[in-house]
Amino acid sequence: MKTTASPRYGPGAPQRAALLNKPAAAVVANGSRLAGVEMAPPDPILGVSEAFKASKDPNKLNLGVGAYRTEELQPLVLEVVKKAEQKMLAAGYNKEYLPIEGLDAFRQATVQLLLGSDSAAVKEGRVAVLQALSGTGSLRVGAAFIARFMKGTTVYISNPTWGNHRNIFGDEGVEWKYYRYFDPDTVGLDFKGMVEDLTAAPDGSIVLLHGCAHNPTGVDPTPQQWQEIADLCKAKGHMPFFDVAYQGFATGDLDKDAFAPRLFVDNGLEVMVAQSYSKNLGLYGERVGALNVVLSDADAAKSVLSQLKRLARAIWSNPPTHGARIAAEVVGDADMFELWKSEMAGMAGRIAKVRGELQAALESRCPDRDWSFITKQIGMFSFTGMTPQQVDNMTNKHAVFMTRDGRISLAGLSSSKVAYLADAIVDSVRNH
Amino acid sequence: MFPALALSMQQLQPAASLPLLSCLRRAYSTSGAAAATNWFSHVEMAPRDPILGVTEKFLADKNPDKINLGVGAYRDDNGQPVVLESVREAERRVAGSHFMEYLPIGGLRDFVSESVKLAYGDDSPVVAAGQVAAVQSLSGTGSCRLFAEFQRRFMPHSSVYIPVPTWSNHHNIWRDAGVAQNGYRYYKPETRGLDFEGLMEDIKNAPNGSVFLLHACAHNPTGVDPTPEQWQAMSKLMLDKSHFAFFDMAYQGFATGDCTRDAAAIRIFIDDGHRVGLSQSYAKNMGLYGQRVGCFSLVCDSAAEAAKVESQMKLIARPMYSNPPLHGALLVSKILHDADLKQQWYQEVGVMAARIKDMRGLLRHNLQQLGSPHNWQHITDQIGMFCYTGMSGEMVDTLAAAHSIYMTRNGRISMAGVNTKNVARLAEAMHAVTKEAKM
């Protein structure tokens, strides 16, 4: 492509080329300021959807990003969201800036949803709540807070975890280390390893925990195990940081899915919690979420909120209105809330159904392996244990698009495609 | 005793502080369900944001005649927020599209390409050649933050030169991104205008290859803009010095009422061969404040380079917010794509800019009628949403306390908050606090 000449550093390239008796293209002045910038690799998760879009295979199946699909493999905007948007359109809201901390109605609704409407911490004003750009933005402000106010503290993240966790803490200069989590032999939780690693960690470390429906494995601790982890955090003075991206998506029940963070708060721990409404309200692109910090006293909550605001001001100034309004409408209206609960149960129910169908299909094709993990794991994802080579076979031979860590999103699987997927998996694990 | 301990602990090396921290925590915590850990007792209350904090104070005031001249959000002649008709129509058209999926990390492509054309010109050669790397961003703040992070990574050891004064949040943004800041002379209090000689001297004295933050039009907070001739001179000098120009354009359309004229500085620089960076915001000119819609772009040497640069922009954005919000981008894209809506929008921006210009005239006229001893010419000389009145912090405090009139402590008033109903009272109050003073 023809570029415009840039006479930036004195006589332009063409003139200098003439002087040096070289073709113009060969003389690039002092070189572009940005000539050293390398091409970044595509995002390992979001890049999968791009590859899927580009594929022309008629059988292609997208099991990459965790976005819910209907049985027809179409995106879904919840009825309750459509209703809320209609209400908002009719009300003719203005588009003014929200306060830095976000929409008040949303903040109240979100913390109650998380901790329960009878939460002592909420009633006592002990929770700092900042509306943020979905889970990512909430985690990022939390990471920035940790970098500034907990200097030198290491964050322990599960092995494996959502890939973006590493980048979020890394970009804030917060050191992170893995704790053992997934046991490939049992295709379940390596609880012994987890406890060992968190015990070996220095006192006062930060522990990143998935509130429910662990991403990417789908493996969650049992209630008893959660209590043990809480006890461990207390004994070691660790600060838990919950990532709650799937409340309502694990069991289909909002309260049940909030069991772990509520347990920790009831145990008297100060915790950070990042919430996302991308999946459970289907508000993906509207970027709705919140960072909650539960403190031991109300004064600390005020100070902490003021600092969270200061950090958010330098990233986005104030959060986007649209999605927060939707969420506030839904949670704030009794009828809409009930409708939401039933729609969420519907989504979780469809996922549970395809899990069962997939397991049965695999068992009938490949009875010599244990496929029970498919229904034991919970939430949107299943960690199949497939190797990168097997995953490549899935994609290259069968046009099944998934992340190379072996994670599949059940939300992208329809009952009608179960047989196809089962064939692909069996071929990949047997022959590669 | 404990606060002092907490403070001194912050000064200890991290490794040494941990045993102390857990001792403190054991001292605080009791056994049983009521036990509380104390991670955050050392966290101090942050100061209120100087701009957004003004609105907080305004809201708390019970005077029915209170006036908010703080944040730069447009108000109509009744002091009400405005949603543009073109925006309402765009909203009606996108309603029912029922699409809420994640945008790509770089945002809505249509939105990005329309934004780039709006800023650089429909027939800009750098746009046609694919040299502009661009991503949708979280309004002006988000664009600046993406650039600041990009600067730290890819222009290491460079500092940013920021005009004195500037939007206060610029300082927060570059500081949090870990980039060193310098000031360059900009506002001359004696003339309440541009310190052009000082500015050129500072451009000249900065080390070659420095990064300069420039307000494309309607400088915030002063309202003082260079003339086209001055922009030309700055462009030439900056070329000689191989400086990098980063434009913050938050008011395209708001300065003169004409989007093309307001982007003139950028186009001067591009024509001269600069490879600029740009932050665009639709908060004011489309009234999309809370939607957080903007665009961050960098002009590169080639399409190949632009592709690489864009990939790195995304690498910065992904751990910040993953992908930008959908709604506002859909509205902007709708408006810029549709010829009728775009025309309607141009007109509406013109109306907003004209009302502000009228208010400038009225305020100055009223002050003169009251017999003010001071020269208020700068009120009509300055351009855009803000007027740098020249009033002191003490005068600002008095205006708040005694007159329920709120503005930032640097004496900046948002002309958008002035209307035919309150301009007389505003003039009287300003006269009252300034008539005895030297200004």
Q: In this model, does residue A81 exceed pLDDT 60?
A: yes
Of A243, A371, A405, A417, the catalytic one is A243
pLDDT digits (tens, 9 = 90+) for B269-287: 999 999 999 999 999 999 9
AA letter at A375: T
Q: In this model, does residue A417 exceed pLDDT 50?
A: yes
Of A197, A257, A279, A417, the catalytic one is A279
The secondary structure element, H or E, covering residue B164 is strand B160-164
CA of A329, closest CA in chain B: separation in Å?
Answer: 17
Chain B interface test: which of A1, A2, A4 (most B C-beta within 10 Å)? A4
User: Shortest CB distance from A314 goes to which of B38, B172, B239?
Assistant: B172
User: Shortest CB distance from B103 goes to which of A1, A9, A285?
Assistant: A285
With an 8 Å Cβ cutoff, are B139 and A202 in contact? no
Confidence at residue B15, expressed as pLDDT on a 0 to 100 scale: 37
Tell me the residue ranges of DSSP E strands in B272-361: 277-281, 294-299
CA of A371, closest CA in chain B: separation in Å?
Answer: 32
Q: Is the peptide bond before A216 cis (omega within 30 degrees of 0)?
A: yes
Confidence at residue A21, expressed as pLDDT on a 0 to 100 scale: 42
Confidence at residue A31, expressed as pLDDT on a 0 to 100 scale: 60
pLDDT digits (tens, 9 = 90+) for A238-286: 999 999 999 998 999 999 999 999 999 999 999 999 999 999 999 999 9
Q: In this model, does residue A94 exceed pLDDT 70?
A: yes
CA of A284, closest CA in chain B: separation in Å?
Answer: 5
Share of chain B above pLDDT 70, in %: 92
Q: In this model, does residue B5 exceed pLDDT 70?
A: no
- Write the CB contacts of A248 (distance below 8 Å, at least 6 apart in sequence): A254, A257, A280, A341, A344, A348
Q: What average pLDDT is seen over chain B?
A: 90
Chain B interface test: which of A33, A276, A343 (most B C-beta within 10 Å)? A33
Interface check B172 vs A, CB under 8 A: yes
With an 8 Å Cβ cutoff, are B129 and A309 in contact? no
Interface check B3 vs A, CB under 8 A: no
Q: Is the peptide bond before B319 cis (omega within 30 degrees of 0)?
A: no
pLDDT digits (tens, 9 = 90+) for A23-80: 333 333 346 788 888 998 888 888 898 899 999 999 999 999 789 999 999 999 999 9
User: Which of A150-164, B70-84, B253-267, B417-431 comes out lowest in average pLDDT?
Assistant: B70-84
- The residue that leads in pLDDT, B38 or A241, is A241
Cα R_g (chain B), whole angstroms = 24
In order of start, what are the domains of chain B with their CATH numbers? 52-82+343-434 (3.90.1150.10), 103-337 (3.40.640.10)
With an 8 Å Cβ cutoff, are B301 and A6 in contact? yes
φ and ψ at residue B414, rounded to 5 degrees: -85, 110
User: Shortest CB distance from A3 goes to which of B19, B42, B129?
Assistant: B129
Write the DSSP symbol of residue B75: B
With an 8 Å Cβ cutoff, are A37 and B315 in contact? no
User: How many Cβ contacts (< 8 angstroms) between chains A and B?
Assistant: 306
Q: In this model, does residue A383 exceed pLDDT 50?
A: yes
Confidence of residue A22 (pLDDT cuts 50, 70, 90): very low
User: Shortest CB distance from B328 goes to which of A35, A267, A320?
Assistant: A320
Interface check B130 vs A, CB under 8 A: yes
Average pLDDT, integer, range A166-178: 98
A162 has catalytic annotation: yes
CA of B368, closest CA in chain A: separation in Å?
Answer: 34
A243 has catalytic annotation: yes
User: Shortest CB distance from B275 goes to which of A32, A81, A300?
Assistant: A32
Interface check B15 vs A, CB under 8 A: yes
Residues of B catalogued as catalytic: 167, 248, 284
Q: In this model, does residue B109 exceed pLDDT 90?
A: yes
CB atoms within 10 A of CB B332: 28
Q: In this model, does residue A13 exceed pLDDT 60?
A: no
The sign one gets for the Cα dihedral B351, B355, B358, B364 is negative
With an 8 Å Cβ cutoff, are A313 and B169 in contact? yes
Interface check B338 vs A, CB under 8 A: no
Tokens coding A310: 């200061």
Decide the pairing of beta strands B386-388 and B405-406: unpaired
Residues in chain B with CB shorter than 8 Å from the CB of A50 are: 104
Q: In this model, does residue B1 exceed pLDDT 50?
A: no
User: Shortest CB distance from B40 goes to which of A266, A282, A300?
Assistant: A300
Which B residues, 244 through 283, put their C-beta within 8 Å of a C-beta on chain A?
Answer: 244, 272-275, 283
Residues in chain B with CB shorter than 8 Å from the CB of A53 are: none
Write the DSSP symbol of residue A9: T
| DSSP helix/strand/coil, B162 | strand
φ and ψ at residue A396, rounded to 5 degrees: -70, -40
With an 8 Å Cβ cutoff, are A164 and B318 in contact? yes
pLDDT digits (tens, 9 = 90+) for A189-215: 999 999 999 999 999 999 999 999 999
User: Shortest CB distance from A167 goes to which of B14, B32, B319?
Assistant: B319
With an 8 Å Cβ cutoff, are B49 and A8 in contact? no
Q: d(Cα A209, Cα B234) in Å, to the nearest integer? A: 53
pLDDT digits (tens, 9 = 90+) for A105-144: 999 999 999 999 999 999 999 999 999 999 999 999 999 9
With an 8 Å Cβ cutoff, are A287 and B323 in contact? yes
Interface check B367 vs A, CB under 8 A: no
Is residue A412 within 8 A of residue A279, CB to CB? The reply is no
Q: In this model, does residue B2 exceed pLDDT 50?
A: no
Confidence at residue A50, expressed as pLDDT on a 0 to 100 scale: 85
* Residues A128, B315, A168: CA angle, nearest 5 degrees: 30
Confidence at residue A92, expressed as pLDDT on a 0 to 100 scale: 86
Confidence at residue B141, expressed as pLDDT on a 0 to 100 scale: 98
Cα–Cα distances (Å) from B26 to A200, A235, A414, B23, B393, in that order, read 19, 9, 53, 5, 47
Which B residues, 98 through 117, put their C-beta within 8 Å of a C-beta on chain A?
Answer: 98-105
Residue ranges of the alpha helices (H) in A150-222?
A: 164-171, 191-200
With an 8 Å Cβ cutoff, are B308 and A40 in contact? yes
pLDDT digits (tens, 9 = 90+) for B329-374: 999 999 999 999 999 999 999 999 999 999 999 999 999 999 999 9
Confidence of residue B37 (pLDDT cuts 50, 70, 90): low
Confidence at residue B50, expressed as pLDDT on a 0 to 100 scale: 79
Is residue A350 within 8 A of residue A127, CB to CB? The reply is no
pLDDT digits (tens, 9 = 90+) for B210-238: 999 999 999 999 999 999 999 999 999 99
Interface check B288 vs A, CB under 8 A: yes
| DSSP helix/strand/coil, A314 | coil
Residues in chain B with CB shorter than 8 Å from the CB of A237 are: 21-22, 25, 37
Average pLDDT, integer, range A419-424: 97
